[in-house]
A and B are shown apart, each in its own frame.
Chain A
Amino acid sequence: DGGITQSPKYLFRKEGQNVTLSCEQNLNHDAMYWYRQDPGQGLRLIYYSQIVNDFQKGDIAEGYSVSREKKESFPLTVTSAQKNPTAFYLCASTSLAGSSGANVLTFGAGSRLTVL
């Protein structure tokens, strides 16, 4: 089945540690996105990538880093510089070909990060 796989589903981190969240898609989608969701808040865009080896900062990129070495993969690293990393992280993707700007997103199931 085609889809987006995020791992791990739950992750605990000690303060000062970097952690990497995995996002893999087999939908042949061009663009991939990372969102952060906090209770009572909407989704806030961290980073996005529309092509391999290129990515752009979203609205809350500070303390995060990404890479896009393969079309299928878009891992997110939460660094120790992120002051409040406890949140639910969502990865999404979309095809840009012939979309006429529609940008309908397919989401993964999410990764919940808790800093101890």
Chain B
Amino acid sequence: SQQGEEDPQALSIQEGENATMNCSYKTSINNLQWYRQNSGRGLVHLILIRSNEREKHSGRLRVTLDTSKKSSSLLITASRAADTASYFCATVYFNTGANSKLTFGKGITLSVRP
């Protein structure tokens, strides 16, 4: 199945630093979303960017989308220990004759050291 691929697989930074995570995908999309998952818990939606948008902000989060390169990045500024989690990108594309559905990447494990 079509899948977003995140990069890097794991990231370790010091508290206060910025964290940048990347996602690449394969086909044309309707929108791209980022989710967060704390260990052993469900995913929580962070931010959505539509295919006709290039950048969105939400608090300390900044997402960019480059449809020509089929890639997105998630920037977390001024990271905190509480940001330690796994982050997933999910793409929404339209199946022929069916409603859209999400396809998730494998995730990035972010560790923020106090």
Interface residues of A (CB under 8 A from B): 4, 6, 31, 33, 35, 40-43, 45, 48, 50, 56, 59, 88, 90, 92, 96, 101-110, 112
Contact = CB atoms under 8 A, between A and B. Distances in A.
A59 B82 CA distance: 33
Given A48-B101, A90-B42, A108-B42, A102 B107 contact: no
B106 interface: yes
B99 A110 contact: no
Given A101-B92, A104-B33, A104-B48, A110 B102 contact: no
3 smallest CB-CB distances across A and B, nearest first, come from A107-B42, A43-B104, A42-B106
A101 B40 CA distance: 29
B100 interface: yes
Given A41-B106, A42-B105, A59-B1, A101 B99 contact: yes
Contact of B41 (A48, A92, A110): A110
B33 A107 contact: no
Interface in B80-113: 88, 90, 92, 94, 98-107
A96 B92 CA distance: 13
Question: How would you classify the secondary structure of chain A's contact residues: helix, strand, loop or mixed?
Answer: strand
Contacts of A109: 41-42
A107 B48 contact: no
A40 B107 CA distance: 8
B45 A102 contact: no
Given A45-B101, A96-B99, A103-B102, 18 more contacts: A33-B101, A41-B106, A42-B88, A42-B104, A48-B101, A50-B99, A56-B98, A101-B94, A102-B92, A103-B92, A104-B33, A104-B48, A105-B90, A105-B102, A107-B43, A108-B42, A110-B41, A110-B42
A90 B43 contact: yes
A105 B1 CA distance: 19
A65 B68 CA distance: 39
B14 interface: no
A55 to B, nearest CB: 12
B51 to A, nearest CB: 10
15 contacts: A4-B42, A41-B106, A42-B3, A45-B101, A45-B103, A96-B99, A101-B30, A101-B94, A101-B99, A104-B33, A105-B35, A107-B42, A107-B44, A108-B42, A112-B40
